Each structure stands twice: as structure tokens, then as C-alpha cells.
Amino acid sequence: MRSKPRIATRSDIPPFIVMDMMRAANEKEVLGEHIIHMEVGQPSTKAPSKVIAAAHNALDADRLGYTDAKGLPELRERISHHYQTRYKLDVPADRIIITTGSSAGFVLAFLALFDKGAKVALPVPGYPCYPHILRALDIDPVFIETNEQSGWFPTIDHLDELASKDSALDGLLLASPANPTGTMLDASSLKKLATHCASKNISFISDEIYHGLTYGTPAPTAIAYNRDAIIINSFSKYFSMTGWRIGWMVVPEHLVRPIERLQQNLYINAPTLSQLAAIKAFDCIDELETYKNAYEINRDYLLNELPEAGFGKILPADGAFYLYADISDLTDDSQSFTRAILENTGVALTPGQDFDAVRGKHFLRFSYARSLNDMQEAVRRLKPWIKNR
């Protein structure tokens, strides 16, 4: 009798549900249905014009060989300058490593910081790939259930409570602005967490991929308060370059060489074409700000219209391009609910179970990264379906 092919247990992780939803939506689109994509955090805007021109020039010049594992020096210098202009911080280019999107940054950070069995605290609700990657690497996620009282972020009290239960933490990872909630830590709260982690020898990883996408106070960076923090960012969201798969890390000096070695062996280097193009992204801030202004218009429209469509309990939306809605008065199973919405209205949304395995059954996430016309059409379809279902 032939045995079954072996599958490593580390691959037995949950799916990234938003990608499953996008696949289901795309399958309907192939059949000719008009789908409104509000499931995935992907801008409908193009990459900035100078980025596209730089990519064309690089292709014409055939400059697509390997780069240094840490990334092109010119791109790292531009990112260093970005920290000086946006945050008024001196971040040397030597501490910046270019990655294949933020996803590779998480893998590199986890491998460099944590051994098997290490404990890393994560807020819930939160980005599902954090715990999935940790588990695939035999690192233990420790979930911190957040709520309205804590601003949907972990607090020092949460960390102290974990310590009192003899659950010594090796790391804390959070994003601000956050996915899926869109909420953001103010500078004082971020400083408290970052300095607390430094004092307790807890590695602090700050996912700052939604920096630039705030609709009031700019987002502070954790490196301002903890020089040993690892910062992970990307050109995907604010810079509208999701498919280019290009991001960066800021790491403390003692981790530069270990992460460089990991990059050499796992990825060689981030995509060269994307690196060459991304250099020009920082010359396109005016263009990118018009994109952000469009997201803000979408956000304001949905905050005004969604309550009339039956979605009246929405968390504060400080940044990113998401609204996280409590739908406990509509369903006890947001995954089935979002599938029904897609099937009956052609609007693709993401169920809260992707971000919170327990309470997520009562939540869903709207992404408002696409056009205002799409937002208006989504509301037009949702209102009668919710009313008549």
C-alpha cells in the first residue's frame, strides 16, 4: 500500500481568509460579474508616475542583476532621508534593509530575534499573518484581547498581567495605524509601550506599513522612543505599490549582520526592478497625498452611509483604509455572512474571523482603498439586501 506524501506540520496553519475571499471574488469576475472589491487592502490607484517611469528606464537599460543583500545603497539613503524629513530622526542607511514586501520583513525579524518556543505578544483583533508566520517558525503567539477601553491596543497593564502569570514575553508586535481596526496609538501611548519593552528586555516590533495614511495627527514611529525597536514598513499601502513586493526594515546595529545573513540565504535580495523604481517614490509625495485625500473622502462617505445600510457600529477610523464594524445584531457568523453578501450583491468584504478567531464572528472589515464610485455602488447594493434578507 502506497503511503501518503509527507507534509510538514509547520505548514498546517490557517488560511489568510482575505485572500480566499479575493479568490472567490475574482472567480465571479472571470464569469463576467461586476464585483466591488472591499475585501483586500489594495489601492485602486496606480503606482506613482515617476516610479513607473523609473521601472521603464531600468528595463530599457537592463539593470536587473543582483543587488547587495541589504538593498541598493541609493534606496536605503532615500529611506534614511525620509526618516529625517517625516520624523526628524537620524536613521543611518546602514541600519536599513530592503525586503520583499513587509511579509519578508516579518520572517527575517522573527528568525533573527526568536528561537523555537519564544513567546510573542500580539493584539487581537490583528493582522492574521503575524501568528500564522510565528507558528510556521515554531514561535508561540500570545494573544492580548483588546477592546474599546484600551483603544483596541495592548497596554502596559496587559503586559504586566502576562508577566504575573509566569508567561515571560520575548517580544511584542503591533501595528499603528492598525489592521483591521484603523485605530492609532498617540505618541504618549506608543512611548509608554516602547520604553516599557526596552526596560523589560522585550523585543519590540512596530509594523508601520500604514504610516502616511492618517486623517488627523500623523503617526509617530516607535524608533523615536526605543532605538532597539525593529521597524517594518512597505511601499505597498501609502505608496500604492502592492504588487511590486518591496518594503524595508530599520533594525538596531547588532541585528544588521544577522539579518543580512538571513536575507542572503533566504531571498538573495529584494526584487531589483522594484528597488530601482522605489527610489523615485519619495519624489511623488504630492501625487500620493491626492491618493490619501481620495481615501479620506471614501471614509467619510462610508461613515455617513453605512449606518443607513445596517452597519451602525463602526470603530473609530484614525488611519489606514479600513472600517471594522460590529455586526452582532445581524449575524453570529461573519464568514457565512460575507459569503452571502458576495453571492447576492457582488460586494466582497472580509469577515472578522480573519482577525479575531473568537469575537470576529460578530465583525467584518470594509476596505475603502478603491474609488468613490465603488463605495457608492457598494452602498447602493448593500442597503436593499440587508433590509430584505
The domain ranges of the chain are 9-46+285-388, 49-283
What is d(CA 274, CA 50) in angstroms, rounded to the nearest whole number? 12
pLDDT digits (tens, 9 = 90+) for 127-182: 999 999 999 999 999 999 999 888 899 999 999 988 877 668 999 999 999 999 99
Q: What is the pLDDT of residue 162?
A: 87
Alpha-helix residue ranges (DSSP H) falling in 272-348: 272-278, 285-305, 334-345
**Would you call 4 helix, strand, or coil by DSSP?**
coil
Grid coordinates in use for 39?
475585501
pTM: 0.94
Grid coordinates in use for 124?
487581537
- Cis check for the bond before 48: say yes or no (omega within 30 of 0): no
Pick from 111-115, 145-149, 227-231: least confident: 145-149
Helix axes 129-136 and 101-113, enclosed angle (nearest 10): 50
pLDDT, average across residues 235-254 = 97
CATH fold match for the domains 9-46+285-388 and 49-283: yes
Q: CA angle, 163 as apex, 109 and 117 as ends, to 5°? A: 40
Query: Is the four-CA dihedral 189, 191, 196, 197 of positive or negative sign?
Result: positive
pLDDT over 90 at 2, yes or no: no
Q: Which CATH class is domain 49-283?
A: alpha beta
Half-sphere exposure of 288 (CA within 13 A, CB side): 21
Q: Which CATH architecture has domain 9-46+285-388?
A: 3-Layer(aba) Sandwich (3.40)
Pick from 1-15, 19-33, 177-191, 194-208: least confident: 1-15
Number of other CB atoms surrounding residue 30 within 10 Å: 8
What is d(CA 132, CA 174) in angstroms, rounded to the nearest whole number? 15
Q: What is the pLDDT of residue 362?
A: 97
**Would you call 140 helix, strand, or coil by DSSP?**
strand
Pick from 20-29, 162-171, 241-250, 318-327: least confident: 162-171
